Chain A
Amino acid sequence: MRRRVRHGGDDADVDMTPMLDIVFIMLIFFIVTATFLDETGIDLTQPPPPPNDDPNDSKASAIAVYVDGKNRCSVDGRGAECDRVSLAVEGILADKPGASIILKVHEEADNQYLVGLKDSFDQREWTSKIEIIKG
């Protein structure tokens, strides 16, 4: 009598196959979607302005890199090829060590010059500030 009762209990085991199917499908779905996107990017966020920043003081030792609305580059007022801006800046930095770089980009200039110049300064570990010129 007792044995029969135990036997009935064995038969009443939950069938896990459908649940397993669903769990596997979910698992595969999440594995596939998890590695779907891979993005790279650079940081253009501005460093916070230092306290008591005197604009006249910072201008004295600043190198202005300007990109105008037609994607022409200039360094401290002298025209330069956009690919060669960092060379020009390097030359000026040798004369003015510790000068800060201000990257002035006209709002109609292409994104690639903004990203490219910022990237070339980051590569040489020069800190630079970005300014968007409107007009």
Chain B
Amino acid sequence: MARRSRVAVEAEDTELNMTPMLDVVFILLIFFIVTSVFVKAPGIEPNKPEAVTDVDLPPGIIVAISRDNEIWIDKMPYDINEVRSVIMALRDENPKAPGMIQGDAEAEAGIVMQVQELMSDLGIDTRVATQ
């Protein structure tokens, strides 16, 4: 009697135990959910200037400036006067996100610096994108 039951228990033990794998998968899943930043793509791909001293950055709030000096955020062009409220809304969604200005190489420097100053003003750590 006792012997038979022991055999049955051993047969059950040889089934694949998925619990450790599930633990690992869940930890990976939670890690990727937490670290993922949902970036709103600006909708255009400016021809960015080249630089040597540039550093890698995780993008958070992306503002693109085309060569015609249009300011694109989240696939919509905006006027310089409207940008402030749009960026404020994005910052409130994701308060710690760093900013990135993707200015075209031929965009006006004045517009790029204006957006840069505006974003620094709102407390966003902002960089100007390079290739």
Contact = CB atoms under 8 A, between A and B. Distances in A.
A115 B29 contact: no
Contacts of A23: 22, 25-26, 29
Interface residues of B, number: 47
Size class of the A contact interface (CB-based, 8 Å): 35 or more
Task: Select the residue from A31, A67, A109, A112 with max chain B CB neighbours within 10 A.
Answer: A112
A30 B26 CA distance: 12
A16 interface: yes
Contacts of A42: 51, 53-55, 127-128, 130
Interface string A116-135: 10011011000000101010
Chain B: interface secondary structure? Answer: mixed
A43 B105 contact: no
A135 to B, nearest CB: 10
A39 interface: yes
Interface of B: 18, 22, 25-26, 28-29, 32-33, 35-36, 39, 49-59, 62, 65, 100-101, 103-114, 116, 120, 125-131
7 contacts: A24-B25, A30-B32, A39-B57, A41-B54, A108-B110, A111-B108, A123-B52
